[in-house]
Amino acid sequence: MSEVTNAELATLVTELSARLEAAEAEIAELRRRSDASIPEDVIIAISAAVSAFLGNKGRVKAVSYSRHRTWAAQGRQTVQQRKLSR
C-alpha cells in the first residue's frame, strides 16, 4: 500500500470542495429554472396549436401545471392517473 501524505490529502479535499461547490451551484440553477412560470404567450401558442389540431372544435377549459423534479416523476404520474376504460 502506498501512503498518502497530508499535502496530497489536503489537495484532494480542496479539489473535492471545488467540485461540490460547482455541483451545488448547478443544482440551484436547475431548481430556479424548474420554478419559473410559463409565459402567457407560450400558453396561447400551445392552445392555438391544439385547437388547430382538433379542427377548431376543441376548447381549453383549464391549464394545470405539474411541477416535479424529474421527467421520470412526471411519467409515473401520467401512467398512474390513466384509468382503464372497460
Please choose, from the candidates 69, 77, 72, the residue with its C-alpha nearest in 3D space to the C-alpha of residue 33: 69
Asked if 61 and 54 count as a contact pair (C-beta separation under 8 A), the reply is: no
pLDDT in tens, 49-80: 888 887 876 666 776 666 666 777 777 777 77
pLDDT score recorded for residue 86? 42
Q: Looking at residue 21, what is its pLDDT?
A: 95
pTM above threshold 0.85: no
- Type of residue at 63: V
pLDDT of residue 81: 76
